[in-house]
Chain A
């Protein structure tokens, strides 16, 4: 499939090395079409996997007559269907994702903002997933579900996704649970929910409660926790007026005086986020924006491939 996207975040040359990799899932999934992923449905096509005693009412076409004739017992043959992947990429569009966009203030000039990092990653993922004949959708999360595109596999659809990703704007919100619930309600079929977020929200518990809904329905939830390196520690300096990116106001402080406590607090946050994610049955991966997204993406795909 030839990409129709003109997104600035789509670097086909860089992605060429990753085009051979596939975004796979460890669980069986539901798909619309035949594909490379194991389907939750064990129908009459695909690869034979097992026998099972016949029970009344089953399709007689799946009865193994040869075995019935030889043994006198009725068995049906089970075949593993393969279907395509329905992946919804959910991007956190809260204000905190803008952190790092002002490189002059950041200690690491190499690091971009989390949002930009998410845009690069989401664009690349959408490209890779669509290249694997899978369907990819998009959800932009904020206080409410801003944009949502149901999973699709056409080049136009992917281009639309990448266009939306390119034009993504943040909003000063600290809530995300509502938009996730709305996404849950709009998604009738099981699939993979890949969340790109910094998890810096006030309703973290409610957010994971919403994710548990997805898991309860059988979704596979993958959380890519974006962490900017400058978030892990405060910049050196005597006096800063720290201004919240989500409209929380200003705080004057001397970072040097609170550096240790801050780092401990942030580490505690990372630990808590990981525990919450794993507790909810999500696949959690902390991603530092200091690492190039291609490298991160490669490792992620390899890890997914098992």
Chain B
């Protein structure tokens, strides 16, 4: 705060004028007088005038002394209050440099990152007794050294080579790492600790900041590079190509455009996916996202990659004006019905399901179960189930499977890990065992809210009806306002008894029978979704109700939607994709990225009976393809996080007060250079002279 803090000791001189004032008051000579009342009358007229004169003189003299003392001590408000390069105190300093995408924004022809680099370099100048470290803060903090060092040359070299990354900023991780570096090694470590953060202090990132992880003794200095006037930015916050299946003739492309400026703009986005090109245009209001959409027909099955790009954007941040797209045009969905019931057995539970899944036809697969339906439904018994059948299915439906051997359960669990949704109709006691083994196989990735058990011996479950239904959740929400009326007539038989699992998510139980057992449970695993209908459809009256078909279709859609095959990723994040391939090994696959550089694109690993794509830190934005020969088996669109597009900063007041967590946080705005502030001492000197002149003027005005 002060260049010469020792000079503050002379503040005691402030008392000198006061002391002089009292000490130099002449010792009065006692004089008896007869005309005291005349003296009093005269003095009464002059007393206020003298009092004012004395007070003014005292104030001016005291102020003059104070000002000259402060001028000598060279006060430096702002940065100099916390971080000083001019003293020799033992200091540990960590400079956290925001390297997120928002620092790529251009202000006045200069990227914010260049300003940040200069500000950080200022803090990494050599000084004896100073140890420093540099942390590039992005999605993951990247320190130059593990501990603060005196190798300033290396720090500056790293700083010179640094550039902003297309990542978001994980503030908490960066602060935590800095706090660990600044933590004292032992109780005797009394070095001064300084944390300098150079950033644009985006609201989207810094609203979550918590400085409580930093010790109270640490001096925290926030150096902002945000310009005074807000930067206008247009960004493609998201994009998707939807509705592309073989059954649907055409789909749509939707692009979310964020207009983070102060005025509405007409935005044109050029979308190119595969061979198709579309131009989307629309009015985007200021300060929010707007979704532009256009029909987009993709005729070929398979993976398509492309991009969406804002045309002729004139904004601060160009990196978010383009978004990679990856979409799979899939053939008509196929369902695998695992049952031991014959397709000719009508009515039966499996027959009802088959009718809903493929009302037009029933096909017979090599599994041997008979059927004359469409090819979308493949019947198979559990003992004839293999991995290829599982890989072909979009939804696995299990109904009256009987006893399933352990290998088949493993195969089903493996398919679930690769994103295959499973609908289990638990009708028989054997299903309880299968569900337990399936849960054990999936481990922690499957957290069922209830545990199913066979009904006690001799107890026959029948005439069960629903007492608790989540009408606002799928699939019951599709029934609309008449759901309660429709459900009232439903009667169920068969199934298993259930008991709640402690600490499980009870919201996944969507319907409950009158005996307290679960009727319908829909839950999610790490990669797919899993539903259990706890009833025998063959002996229940649900299939005969009109609501059965829409209910099941809604449930199927819900399950297939949850199939979480990641097709998008954000830069800086870690990625794990279980590739939807079977019968192949990682060596036969190849990742092709948007550039041929050595930016890296992760690696393909044979794991868990399939191939996983692992990428610890997702690299540059663009479309990535996994190819087997000339065939694309998977595509991934990597983009920058959309929250980096909102460039409006958090106010200094919020940072210093609300988020400071009792730490003393100093904030220096951009452009607030140190040099002008160092001239404060001259103004203090001028103030001192003014006080002295004021004293003379006072004496002249009040002269006697």
Contact = CB atoms under 8 A, between A and B. Distances in A.
Nearest to A101: B32
A240 interface: yes
B42 A228 contact: no
Given A200-B35, A254-B26, 5 more contacts: A99-B34, A241-B31, A246-B36, A248-B40, A265-B41
A245 interface: yes
A53 interface: no
Interface centre among B25, B36, B50, B704 (most CB of A within 10 A): B36
A262 B29 contact: no
B34 A258 contact: no
B37 A248 contact: yes
Interface in B33-55: 33-43, 45-46, 50
A297 to B, nearest CB: 23
User: Top 4 nearest A-B pairs by Cβ distance?
Assistant: A96-B34, A239-B26, A241-B28, A244-B36
A17 interface: no
Contacts of B20: none
A228 B34 contact: yes
A62 to B, nearest CB: 55
Nearest to B50: A257
Interface of B: 25-43, 45-46, 50, 704
A178 interface: no
A159 B25 CA distance: 53
Contact of A257 (B36, B37, B38, B46): B46
B29 A258 contact: no
Interface in A222-281: 228, 231, 234-235, 237-246, 248-254, 256-258, 261-262, 265-266, 269
A245 B38 contact: no
Contacts of A220: none
Nearest to A257: B704
A105 interface: yes
B40 A251 contact: yes
A96 to B, nearest CB: 3
A240 B37 contact: no
22 contacts: A96-B34, A98-B32, A98-B34, A99-B34, A105-B31, A238-B26, A239-B28, A240-B28, A240-B31, A243-B30, A243-B33, A243-B36, A244-B36, A245-B32, A246-B36, A248-B40, A251-B39, A256-B704, A261-B45, A261-B46, A262-B35, A266-B38
Contact of A239 (B29, B32, B37): B29
Interface on chain A toward B: helix, strand, loop, or mixed SS? mixed
A102 interface: yes
A99 B32 contact: yes
Contacts of B37: 202, 244, 248
A116 interface: no
A248 B36 contact: yes
B33 A99 contact: yes
Given A257-B704, A262-B39, A266-B38, A242 B31 contact: yes
A252 B28 contact: yes
Contact of B31 (A96, A243, A266): A243
Contact of A237 (B29, B34, B39, B704): B29
A137 to B, nearest CB: 27
A202 B37 CA distance: 9
Contacts of B39: 234, 242, 251, 253, 258, 262
Contacts of A246: 34, 36
A247 to B, nearest CB: 10
A198 interface: yes
A129 B40 CA distance: 41
B34 A251 contact: no
A253 B38 contact: no
Nearest to B41: A265
A96 B35 CA distance: 8
Contacts of B26: 238-239, 254
Contacts of A105: 29, 31-32
Contacts of B32: 98-99, 102, 105, 242-245
Contacts of A250: 30
A242 B38 contact: no
A248 B40 CA distance: 10
A268 B42 CA distance: 13
B30 A241 contact: yes
A251 B27 contact: no
A257 B369 CA distance: 126
Interface centre among B33, B41, B45, B704 (most CB of A within 10 A): B33
Contacts of A244: 32-34, 36-37
Given A239-B28, A256-B704, A198 B34 contact: yes
Contacts of A252: 28
Nearest to A247: B36
Given A253-B43, A258-B46, A261-B46, A200 B29 contact: no
Contacts of A237: 29
B616 to A, nearest CB: 87
A239 to B, nearest CB: 4
Interface centre among B27, B31, B34, B40 (most CB of A within 10 A): B34
B168 to A, nearest CB: 76
Contact of B33 (A202, A242, A257, A258): A242
Contacts of A97: 34
B27 A239 contact: yes
Contacts of A102: 32
Contact of A269 (B38, B40, B46): B38
A239 B41 CA distance: 17
A253 B29 CA distance: 10
A235 B42 contact: no
Nearest to A202: B37
Contacts of A231: 33-35
Given A253-B43, A261-B46, A240 B38 contact: no
A241 B39 CA distance: 11
A246 B38 CA distance: 13
Given A237-B29, A256-B704, A251 B35 contact: no
Contacts of B33: 99, 231, 242-245
A207 to B, nearest CB: 15
A242 B42 contact: no
Contacts of A98: 32, 34
A242 B27 CA distance: 12
A281 B33 CA distance: 30
A158 B625 CA distance: 144
A258 B43 contact: yes
Contacts of A253: 39, 43
Contacts of B45: 261
Nearest to A250: B30
Contacts of B34: 95-99, 114, 198, 200, 228, 231, 244-246
A251 B36 contact: yes
A238 B26 CA distance: 7
Nearest to A248: B36
B38 to A, nearest CB: 5
B237 to A, nearest CB: 80
A237 B38 CA distance: 18
B165 to A, nearest CB: 78
A198 B33 CA distance: 13
B31 to A, nearest CB: 5
A265 B30 contact: no
Nearest to B28: A241
Contacts of B704: 256-257
